[in-house]
Amino acid sequence: KDTMEGEFLALYYEPRTINIILIEDLIKPSQFAGYANLGGISLRNMPYIVILATANKETWIHELGHYFGLEHTFETPLGLVNNSDCASKGDKICDTPADPLGSYDASTCIYTGNLKDANGEFYNPLLENYMSYYVGCTKSFTNQQYKKMIATYKIDPEAHF
Q: What is the pLDDT of residue 41?
A: 73
Closest alpha carbon to 78 in 106, 97, 57? 97
Cα(136)–Cα(146) distance, rounded to whole angstroms? 21
Task: Kindly give the confidence (pLDDT) of every residue in the chain, 161 residues in length, as a single tens digit, with 9 standing for 90 and above.
Answer: 567 778 888 898 887 788 898 888 877 666 788 888 777 776 666 688 889 999 999 999 999 999 899 999 999 999 999 999 999 999 999 999 999 999 999 999 999 999 999 999 999 999 999 999 999 999 999 999 999 999 988 886 665 45
Residue partners of 28: CB distance under 8 A and separation at least 6: 2
